[in-house]
């Protein structure tokens, strides 16, 4: 299996006693701020100086993103449900005791398709503009530009249960909500292991924090049941191997391994859902129906994904992208791994 980070690097995510061979590895895994925060300022090691600088920058970035989040939530009137905070900001609000431990490039919000227009209006009132156009990526320019990524629930490669949001924090009458921890674990595992070429240490730390919270609630069995119910029991085993400090030995079908290992995370939800389709244990007929829905999605999905193209051209672009990506992946020389 290609692109796996060295296991000693991963162990550094789970305790201050672990050491890193170089600051570059810590940065690649998103763990440099955490490592810098663990050690005292008097340590002369130049690697720690770099990581402490990253920690200071992460604190400043987190303050800006927190401020933007409360501003957006204060300006937003939900149509059905409030937007749910994902990824880094969710961990910061729910699990991390001090600022600057979890680097974030942007703010990730999960929203239903029917709420997308209302949330876009709130973002516009807060000074954000769509980039380059459409309704998914927003930016507010300035001395420190801020980005907001909107994840549409209906477009995700796995269907999440949004009926039980968790309140993460409240400020000035606005409440930030996140996914139920079990659903959050499912999404974080899919994001780390399927939508990117290899899991970064910071995403594994996210999974570790979620598992700790789930264990405190006594819901460990619910995680395994939910993952297997989504056809992702194999993914649960891979996550368990990483979190236990072991290199996983994938027993997945060759086609799935080839496609997953060549996937760079830049092609959108189509390839991600296709990966889930190949990884699933569903009956063949069910897989064929899902494959049809992936290749020929609904018009609203196409308008969100290809806002500058007419509907017919968007359909053709969708099929072409899936065909090219899949063909390139499966045409790679077959290797053992």
Q: Per-domain residue ranges for the chain?
A: 7-243, 254-330
* pLDDT tens by residue, the chain, 337 residues: 233 344 344 454 444 445 555 667 777 778 888 877 776 666 667 767 888 888 899 999 999 999 999 999 999 987 778 899 999 999 999 988 788 889 999 999 999 988 988 999 999 999 999 887 566 889 999 888 999 999 988 888 788 999 899 999 998 888 999 999 999 999 998 888 777 656 777 888 888 889 889 989 999 889 888 888 877 776 777 677 666 655 555 444 444 444 444 444 444 445 555 555 555 555 666 667 767 777 777 787 787 778 788 888 988 888 887 777 666 655 544 433 3
User: In this predicted structure, what is the pLDDT of residue 34?
Assistant: 80
**What single DSSP character describes residue 131?**
S
For residues 146 and 68, the answer to whether their CB atoms sit within 8 Å is yes
Q: Which residues of 127-157 are buried (b: 16+ CB within 10 A; e: fewer)?
A: ebebeeebbbbbbbeeeeebbbebbbbbbbb
Q: Count of CB atoms within 10 A of residue 25's CB?
A: 19
For residues 111 and 152, the answer to whether their CB atoms sit within 8 Å is yes
pTM greater than 0.85? no
What span, in angstroms and rounded, lies between the C-alpha atoms of 297 and 294?
6
Of 84, 102, 276, the C-alpha closest to 195 is 276
Give me 143's structure tokens. 């001395």
34, exposed or middle or buried, with CB in 10 Å at 0-12, 13-18, 19+?
Answer: buried
């Amino acid at each position: 299996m290609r692109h796996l980070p060295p296991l000693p690097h991963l162990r550094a995510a789970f305790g201050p006693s672990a050491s890193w061979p170089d600051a570059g590895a810590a940065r690649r895994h998103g763990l440099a701020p955490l490592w810098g925060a663990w050690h005292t300022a008097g340590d002369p090691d130049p690697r720690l100086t770099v990581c402490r600088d990253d920690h200071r920058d992460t604190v400043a970035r987190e303050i800006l993103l927190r401020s933007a989040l409360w501003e957006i939530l204060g300006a937003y009137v939900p149509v059905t449900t409030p937007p749910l905070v994902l990824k880094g900001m969710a961990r910061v609000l729910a699990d991390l005791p001090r600022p600057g431990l979890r680097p974030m490039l942007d703010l990730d919000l999960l929203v239903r398709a029917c709420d997308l227009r209302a949330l876009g209006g709130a973002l516009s009132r807060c000074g954000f503009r769509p980039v380059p156009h459409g309704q998914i990526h927003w930016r507010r320019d300035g001395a420190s530009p801020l980005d907001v990524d909107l994840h549409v629930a209906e477009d995700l490669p796995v269907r999440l249960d949004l009926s039980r949001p968790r309140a993460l924090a409240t400020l000035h009458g606005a409440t930030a909500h996140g996914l139920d921890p079990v659903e959050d674990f499912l999404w974080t595992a899919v994001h780390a292991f399927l939508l990117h070429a290899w899991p970064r240490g910071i995403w594994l730390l996210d999974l570790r924090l979620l598992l700790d919270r789930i264990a405190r609630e006594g819901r460990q069995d619910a995680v395994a049941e939910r993952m297997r119910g989504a056809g992702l029991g194999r993914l649960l085993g891979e996550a368990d191997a990483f979190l236990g400090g072991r290199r996983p030995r994938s027993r997945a079908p060759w086609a799935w391994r080839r496609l997953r290992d060549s996937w760079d995370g830049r092609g959108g939800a189509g390839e991600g859902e296709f990966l889930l389709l190949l990884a699933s244990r569903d009956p063949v007929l069910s897989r064929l129906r899902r494959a049809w829905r992936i290749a020929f999605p609904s018009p609203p999905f196409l308008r969100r994904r290809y806002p500058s193209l007419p509907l017919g051209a968007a359909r053709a672009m969708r099929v072409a992208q899936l065909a090219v990506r899949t063909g390139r992946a499966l045409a790679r020389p077959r290797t053992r791994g």
